[in-house]
Structure 1
Amino acid sequence: MDTADYRNIKRIKALLGLLLYPLFMLGCTTAVAPTVEQESRLPEEEEYFTNPIADGADPWVFKKGDTYYFCSSGNGGIQVSKSEKLTAPGEKVVVWKTPDTGWNKSNVWAPELHRFNGKWYIYYAAAKKPGGPFLYQRSGVLESEGDDPFGPYTDKGMLYTGDSIEYTSSAPKWAIDLTPLQLNGQLYAIWSGWEGDAETDKTKQHLYMARMSNPWTISSNRVLLSSPEEPWETGGPLDLNEGPQVLKHKEKVFIVYSTRESWLKEYRLGQLTLSDTLVNPMEATYWVKSGPVFEGTDEVLGVGHCSFTTSPDGTEHWILYHSKKTTTPGWDRNIRAQEFTWTADGFPFFGVPVPAGVPIPVPSGQDD
């Protein structure tokens, strides 16, 4: 029996245990403690975990070697933690505090930690005024002074996310959730933005892309990649495309993004697939939309804003995402993790979100 077969058997046993437990309890009048032999056949606690794995939202994880680095906003700035276990984020350390003044003094959202050329970069959104209405969100980037994800970091400023980069007086547009894409030797930025300036934050969001000349400089005007137009992207009080994440696999490039409303249980994931990795990704016609590719259930609500990684031994692919705690509109959320697979054609298959409390085998190699 190989490792994959063994882990599949573990999954089946865990699921059968969950399904049969209520029936077993109905048929029992007296609770009976398991024997020593029965205990030896029970799942070992360290071999399983249950969702959620943490409170919070917008999970971001970066794997380097045997270590996972998690990045989040909070405590007046941006935090990084590290852990040898994907399902147990470590202690958060503040690596950057917001300044007292400036465009990025407030509303730090969805930071992402990336590594280029031996340095670490954190992409994030922030605003010059605290709270709502959220009219002033722009995207910026921090650069580490050395090869340490805990910094110190230098603020490299606001990234240009507008339509007239050749005019120095032109202003960047509203932009959040910026993430980089490396393809064929070129670096690109992808983000969620507004078509123009607006007087209300109840404004439709689209996905945009631009070229970068280095990890802290956007060097072209933006192009529109995706708008919320499909039936599964629309129908609520505000149509959104946001939280784009790059996923690569066997000569295929995907952008997996969040759609519908982040504060409602209908939040879900859509997907853009690049038709050919040799084409110009700045041409929207080369991106094929499909979805929803991952959505909530009656037990797991409002799944969205994901990131991707692999198991410690590299044999499995995992998605981290957040979900709502209740059906009440709002942003009270927690973070979950589960394995996903690939179709024979090389497309991601995310399946169905696993309910809270259901035992899930830990990522392969995590116990080593």
Structure 2
Amino acid sequence: MFVSMYSRFSAISICTVQSAALAFLMLASLAIPATVQAEEHERTFVNPVYAGQDPYLMVGPDGAYYQAASLRSDRALAVYRSESLTDRGIHRVVFEAPDEGPYRDQFWAPEIHYLDGKWWIYTCADDGDNAKHRVVVLVAETDDPLGKYKIAAELETPAWAIDATVSKFPNGKRYCIWSGWPEGTTPDSTQHLFISEMESPTKLVGPAVDISTKMYPWETSGRPDGLNEGAQVIHRNGKTLVLYAASGSWTPDYCFGLMTLEGDDPLDASGWVKQEKPWFSRTADVYGPGHGCLITSPDGSEDWLVFHSSIDPKGSWNRCISMKQVSWNDNGLPVAGKPTSWNTPVPVPAGEPPLQAGGKLTNAFDTLDRWELLHFYNGNTLRLRDNQLSVKASADRRYGDKLILRGLEYRDLTVETRIRFDREEGTAGTIVRVTDAGIGRYNFRGYSAQLSSTGELILAKCDGNKLTVLASKEVSVTKGRWYDLRVVAQGELLEVYLDGAKQPQLSAEDATYPSGQIGVRAIDANVTFDTFSVSTTAE
């Protein structure tokens, strides 16, 4: 279809699924029980869809989405695989930085590419000194894209360099575009986009050409001399375009710009023409949308922008990932309009895998692969070990942590789990019949059965913006003690049982949410969940 990533159709015809990757995917599929499709109804999603920054997605040889991400304070890299755009999918940590050497810190904005029959990750790193940042290329050690990677090379850029992307252009040659400090300028005073031809996935040849010489005022927020980074190449409608991020990423004015190659030579700087206005920019309630990519929907019929934005009105590097559908105008250029407000339901991308009717599960904490991770500090606040899930939801008190059982929908059911408060604060429990779940304290629709460390059992419903208590009761809660929580949903009747009680401690009737997904939720709490089982009335 377009961009510097395989289209859903060409990828399948050009490449074959690697045997190791296929074996992994077959094993991963065992995490979801075989079920029938749930009843059909219009599915929607809400932004933000997950936590993170600098998203770059590609469609792999097997037709699935792949993306790389920095974890563990930017000293580790993970690769994600998903059949869906709204679910980031399963992941594996594929690289951990060494303790010493020139590439031991600040691995930023990784991109995964499938080139010449191998998997590559383009990222950047330094030895702890930002001025030494350079583009580094990692190569997979096997055919498995979620297997281990090793550093293959440093790209020989003239100076400081980050945010590299690669693409094969219509002339048949492959090029790399990155963001760097122009020679002769004060370090960290400006960032320009540079392009160079590639001899191989690990080697640049020829000149490094500056294609960012002109800066508009909207490209200078936080950097008076201008800042361009995060380029992505688009080949569509006979045009070659570059989508890029502009202004300081720490500001609320971070945005997207768009430039067009007017001519046939990518190394002719005069041939690159920027649009005079931002292509995609902030609104009153979405701050600093920038650094992302265009990608097709699962069925290939739609185009979507995947991007990050700040959770802070004044801008920051606390960021989450959102999506917006893109159309094309009569001039053959992409049009995205304005960012969609968070918590606003939007139809899912065309071809998203449907939810399946959930069945019995006896231990859903056997693998993290079962779960969608809707928590803010990705990679730092969750740990699954020995069938116990530890959640540190006190890391940012503006945002709760939710985990949703992937791909399954339930109507009438019984959910059981055990909860232990590891600190005397916060609330934790289960959520049922959930729809439109995204990053955010109340960013979901459905029911919540919560136990509070202050001694309250609460049954509530959430409309995406606030909780409404349906029933509550004072209970005794002690730090370090396990509590058995059971929730029964049968038609309009909702019941909550604690510690094996024969009669429900809480009950209410409500018909707002008849079906949806299930999961666990923690607010302000450092808590551990032990076991998560579910049964349905049909069993």
TM-score band by shorter chain is 0.7 to 0.9
- Listed as ranges, the matches of 1:268-287 within 5 Å are 268-276=255-263, 279-287=264-272
State the partner residue of 2:173: 186
SS at match of 1:285: helix
Please say if 1:306 is aligned against 2:306.
Answer: no
CA shift for structure 1 position 98: 1.0
In the alignment, the residues of structure 2 paired with residue 66 and residue 328 of structure 1 have an alpha-carbon distance, to the nearest angstrom, of 39
Q: How many angstroms apart in 2 are the aligned matches of 1:242 and 1:182? A: 19
CA deviations 1:312-337 (Å, max 9, x no partner) are 11000111100011123421111001
Is the contact between residue 228 and residue 234 of structure 1 (CA under 8 Å) also seen in structure 2? no
Structure 1 residues 78-87 or 232-241, which shifts more? 232-241
Q: Is the 8 A contact 1:118 1:146 kept in 2?
A: no
| Residue 172 (structure 2) pairs with residue 176 (structure 1) | no
**Which residue of the other structure, out of 208, 223, 226, is the alignment partner of 2:194?**
208
Residues 161 and 89 of structure 1, relative CA distance in 2, 3 Å threshold: same
* Superposition deviation, residue 68 in structure 1: 1.1
Work out the CA distance in 2 between the residues paired with 1:283 and 1:179: 18
Matched, 1:347 2:333: yes
> Structure 2 CA distance, aligned partners of 1:301 and 1:329?
6
1-structure distance, mates of 2:146, 2:343: 33
Task: Find the aligned partners of 1:61 and 1:345 in 2 and give their Cα distance.
Answer: 26
Structure 2 matches for 1:181-330, cutoff 5 A?
Answer: 181-183=167-169, 184-196=171-183, 200-201=187-188, 203-227=189-213, 229-238=215-224, 239-276=226-263, 279-290=264-275, 291-330=277-316
Q: Does 1:74 align with 2:71?
A: yes
Percent identity for Structure 1 against Structure 2: 38
| Cα pair distance change 1:253/1:198, threshold 3 Å | closer
Contact map agreement 1:206 1:228 (CA 8 A) in 2:
no
Deviation at 1:208, TM superposition (A): 0.4
Distance between the aligned counterparts of 2:40 and 2:307, measured in 1?
Answer: 26
**Bigger Cα displacement from structure 2, 205-214 vs 68-77:** 68-77
What's the offset of the Cα at 1:289?
0.6
Q: Is the 8 A contact 1:95 1:150 kept in 2?
A: yes
Distance 1:95 1:292 in 2: 36
**Matched-pair contact (CA < 8 Å) for 1:47–1:367:** no
Q: Which amino acid aligns with 2:63?
A: D
Per the alignment, residue 30 of structure 1 pairs with none
Higher share of residues assigned helix: 1
Contact 1:161 1:221 in 2 (8 A): no
Q: Secondary structure at the match of 1:292?
A: coil
- 1:287: how far off? 1.1
Separation (CA, whole Å) in 2 of partners of 1:266 and 1:45: 38
Partners of 2:252 and 2:316 within 8 A in 1 = no
SS in 2 for 1:314: coil
In the TM superposition, residue 198 of structure 1 has moved relative to its aligned partner by 6.9
Corresponding letter in the other structure for 2:149: Y
- Structure 1 range deviating more: 250-259 or 324-333: 324-333
Q: Work out which structure has the larger RCO, using CA pairs closer than 8 Å and 6 or more positions apart in sequence.
A: 1
Which secondary structure does the structure 1 equivalent of 2:59 belong to? strand
Cα deviation for residue 366 of structure 1 reads 0.7
CA distance in structure 1 between the aligned counterparts of 2:232 and 2:196, rounded to whole angstroms: 15
Task: Tell me, yes or no, if the aligned pair for 2:92 and 2:147 is still in contact at 8 Å.
Answer: no
Which position in structure 2 is the counterpart of 1:61? 57
Cα deviations by residue, 1:259-303 (Å, 9 ceiling, x for unpaired): 111001000111110113xx1101011111103110010111100
Q: Per the alignment, do residues 338 and 119 of structure 1 end up closer, same or farther by CA in structure 2, a change over 3 Å counting?
A: same
CA distance in 2, matches of 1:233, 1:192: 14
Give the 5 Å matches for 1:104-183: 104-129=103-128, 134-162=130-158, 173-183=159-169
Q: Are the counterparts in 1 of residues 245 and 291 from structure 2 also a CA contact under 8 Å?
A: yes
SS at match of 1:85: coil
Q: 1:275 to 1:62 in 2, by over 3 A?
A: same
How many Å separate the matches in 1 of 2:58 and 2:307?
Answer: 14
Contact 1:139 1:175 in 2 (8 A): yes
Q: Which AA in structure 2 matches 1:289?
A: K
With the length of structure 2 as denominator, give the TM-score of the two structures. Answer: 0.55
Measured at CA, do residues 46 and 121 of structure 1 come closer, stay the same or move farther in structure 2, by a change above 3 Å? farther
Root-mean-square deviation (CA), in Å?
A: 1.9
Whole-angstrom distance in 1 between the partners of 2:348 and 2:257: 26
State the distance in 2 between where 1:361 and 1:72 align.
26
How far does the alpha carbon of each residue in 1:300-359 deviate from its partner, in whole angstroms, 9 at most, with x for none?
Answer: 110000112101110001111000111234211110012101111210111110000111
Q: TM-score, normalised by structure 1?
A: 0.80
Residue 98 of structure 1 pairs with residue 97 of structure 2: yes
Q: Compute the displacement of 1:138 (Å).
A: 0.7
Q: Give the ranges of 4+ consecutive aligned residues of structure 1 lying more than 6 Å apart after TM superposition.
A: 43-46
